[in-house]
Structure 1
Amino acid sequence: MSAEPTEIPGYIPGYIAGTWDIDPVHSDVGFAVRHLMISKAKGRFAAVEGRIVTAEDPLESEVSATIDMSSIDTGSPQRDEHLRDADFFEVGKYPRMTYRSTGIRADGDRFLMDGELTLKGVTLPVPLTLELNGFAPDPFAPDPATGARAGFTATGEINRRDFGVSYHGSVPGGGAALGDRVQITLEIEAALRPAAE
């Protein structure tokens, strides 16, 4: 893929410029963190909403998303409640996590998205590697003839301590129960808004 913005659309089959709404039912916001330093604990946030604007020049596109922190799901209700309390996300005080893109760059056959993540009242730059998975007709649209869906994958990493999530637990004999670095994987499906909107 060329790094020249004017050439990029020709390398994205079926590219559609427009405004898209994230479909939470068909999207997944996942994370993974080292547990006891021997394995990875994984989880997801079930409630995400946001908007994606695919510009005529893809490098001028924009993304904004909001995640409901109470929707965390690690497969263990007891652990989820602990993650919601003050040891971790303090959901009662900080109910949402947000992400806002600040720029998109072409990097060979992929895109790099610069953006700002706000978590627990802390806003820091967090770049994501972005993959555009494609476009397809939308069978759920009011007018399937003009509706469309788009799919995106984004990956990145944060240090949880940078955002004030510093709980590490206790391990017999010493050592950390949790790693500091958290891998983030977003699988996003979005629906095209009608032109009038």
Structure 2
Amino acid sequence: MATNWKIDPTHSEIQFKVKHLMITTVTGNFNEFDATAVTEGDDFSSVSSVDFTASIDSISTNNSQRDEHLRSADFFDASQYPALTFKSSRVEASGDDFTVTGDLTIKDTTKPVTLKAEFGGIVIDPYGQTKAGFTVSGKISRKEFGLTWSAVTEAGQVVVSDDIRLLAEIQFVKQA
């Protein structure tokens, strides 16, 4: 029997990290997102699918000027491409460790990516809702997804790295 799960956005966070000037890391997040998962049964021993969407307009790096630049055509081009999406093609479990493979679409580019997920467990909250938790991580090349803006300092330092680390704390709620 298939079980549907929906992300609990108030207890989840979606982050990305990128090197700035190759000496420090800047963290950003998406404040508006949605995700669903379908499992066979009431646990995550067999996962049929995972779908995720994030609103590009909801990007926040705690710097409004940088956020507007990220939303511009130099990066995500939010006016033309308002969301990024991920659709799983395969989910493999090994104990509490999962490998989630699927298609990530940013702008008009779709590429396969593999994410790691660590299962935190399933609990029933004080309101009787069944919840499941995961810590998700991965890495992508921003340039492979058309995020090619680049600059170099006078000393020859790259301003923004190509590698983007993805980090998420996900809490799913079992649907009735």
Same fold per superposition (TM over 0.5): yes
Number of residue pairs the alignment of both structures matches: 173
**Greater share of strand residues, 1 or 2?**
2
1:75 to 53, 58, 62: 62
Structure 2 residue runs without a partner (length 5+):
none
1:170 CA drift (Å): 3.4
Q: Secondary structure at the match of 1:91?
A: coil
Question: Is 1:59–1:103's contact at 8 Å kept on the other side of the alignment?
Answer: no
Question: Is 2:20–2:26's contact at 8 Å kept on the other side of the alignment?
Answer: yes
Q: What is the TM-score of this pair, normalised by structure 2?
A: 0.92
Q: Which residue of 1 aligns with 2:36?
A: 51
- The RMSD of aligned alpha carbons is 1.6
Structure 1 residues 121-140: aligned runs within 5 Å: 121-140=108-127
2:131 to 136, 141, 149: 149
1:26 CA drift (Å): 1.2
Distance in 2, Cα, partners of 1:157 & 1:170: 23
**Cα deviation code 1:48-85 (max 9, x no counterpart):** 11211122372443100110011001011111011100
1:66 to 53, 66, 69: 53
1:132 CA drift (Å): 1.1
Which residue identity lines up with residue 15 of structure 2 in the other structure?
Answer: G
When Rg is computed on C-alpha atoms for both structures, the one with the higher figure is 1
Q: What is the TM-score of this pair, normalised by structure 1?
A: 0.82
Question: Is 1:138–1:191's contact at 8 Å kept on the other side of the alignment?
Answer: no
Higher mean alpha-carbon deviation, 31-40 vs 52-61, is at 52-61
1:107 CA drift (Å): 4.5
2:149 to 159, 167, 188: 167
